[in-house]
């Protein structure tokens, strides 16, 4: 496969079995993003949080993802190896339903930026500080995403129309088309 015009995907592989719950990842992320850099620390400002439940033996590092304006209506509960995770445990969203991934003073959403900075860091800081190797940085090349095949869109839109009726769907498409943005 020719990946010459592909892009690099930065991934952090999280091995929850290796996490010792030290929260060093939180400390360094918050400190790295402090202004001026390293001038303060505060886990509440970290873009990685370790979801913990000592008595259930849950230590789950979660990265801050996208902001969401509204919480989910339906939720899922995962039980893995006898550990019952909280409904929102795996979710990366900065969401009104919980207080993580928000600046504590302004409530502005936080998002992991992979420590993007100038000069670039060799590895994200949380990974560097996780000597337990629960967090491992991986980069890989992938081909550029193709535009979705038209008939997929057809199928999706039809499904929507079935539920909501065409007038509503068209209205929505019209409204959203103009506000679409990248990222």
Site residues, other proteins (CB under 8 A): 17, 20-24, 27-28, 31, 34, 36-45, 51-57, 59, 81-83, 86, 104, 129, 131-132
Provide the minimum distance between the beta carbon of 59 and ligand SF4 in the complex, in angstroms, as a whole number.
Answer: 6
Q: Does 91 bind ligand SF4 (CB under 6 A)?
A: no
Using the minimum distance from each CB to other proteins, give the nearer residue, 1 or 131: 131
Using the minimum distance from each CB to ligand SF4, give the nearer residue, 33 or 169: 33
CB 24 within 8 A of CB 129: yes
CA distance 26 to 30: 6
Instruction: Name which of 11, 44, 46 is nearest 26 in CA terms.
Output: 46
Among ligand SF4, other proteins, none, the one that 86 touches (CB under a kind-dependent 5 to 8 A) is other proteins
Question: 140 - beta bridge partners?
Answer: 9
Provide the minimum distance between the beta carbon of 58 and ligand SF4 in the complex, in angstroms, as a whole number.
Answer: 12
- CB count within 10 Å of CB 12 equals 20
Q: Does 110 bind ligand SF4 (CB under 6 A)?
A: no
137 SS3 class: strand
Question: What are 180's two structure tokens?
Answer: 């679409």
Using the minimum distance from each CB to other proteins, give the nearer residue, 103 or 171: 103
Which member of 62, 88, 114, 169 binds ligand SF4 (CB under 6 A)? Answer: 114
Using the minimum distance from each CB to ligand SF4, give the nearer residue, 45 or 95: 45
Using the minimum distance from each CB to ligand SF4, give the nearer residue, 130 or 169: 130
Cα 123 to Cα 103, 116, 129, 174, distances in angstroms: 24, 10, 10, 42
Angle 86-64-94 (CA atoms, 0-180°, nearest 5)? 70
Provide the minimum distance between the beta carbon of 33 and ligand SF4 in the complex, in angstroms, as a whole number.
Answer: 7
């Amino acid at each position: 496969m020719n990946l010459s015009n592909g892009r690099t995907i930065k991934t952090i592989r999280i091995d929850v079995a290796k996490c010792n719950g030290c929260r060093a990842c939180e400390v360094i992320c918050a400190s790295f993003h402090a202004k001026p850099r390293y001038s303060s620390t505060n886990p509440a400002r970290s873009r990685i949080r370790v979801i913990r439940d000592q008595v259930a033996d849950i230590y789950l590092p979660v990265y801050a993802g996208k902001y969401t304006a509204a919480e989910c209506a339906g939720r899922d509960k995962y039980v893995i190896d006898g550990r019952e995770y909280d409904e929102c445990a795996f979710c990366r969203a900065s969401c009104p339903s919980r207080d993580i991934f928000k600046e504590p003073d302004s409530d502005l959403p936080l998002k992991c930026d992979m420590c993007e900075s100038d000069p670039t860091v060799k590895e994200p800081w949380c990974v560097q500080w996780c000597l337990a190797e629960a967090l491992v940085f991986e980069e890989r090349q992938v081909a550029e995403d193709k535009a979705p095949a038209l008939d997929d869109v057809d199928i999706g839109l039809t499904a929507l129309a079935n539920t909501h009726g065409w007038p509503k769907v068209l209205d929505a498409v019209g409204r959203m088309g103009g506000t679409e943005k990248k990222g």
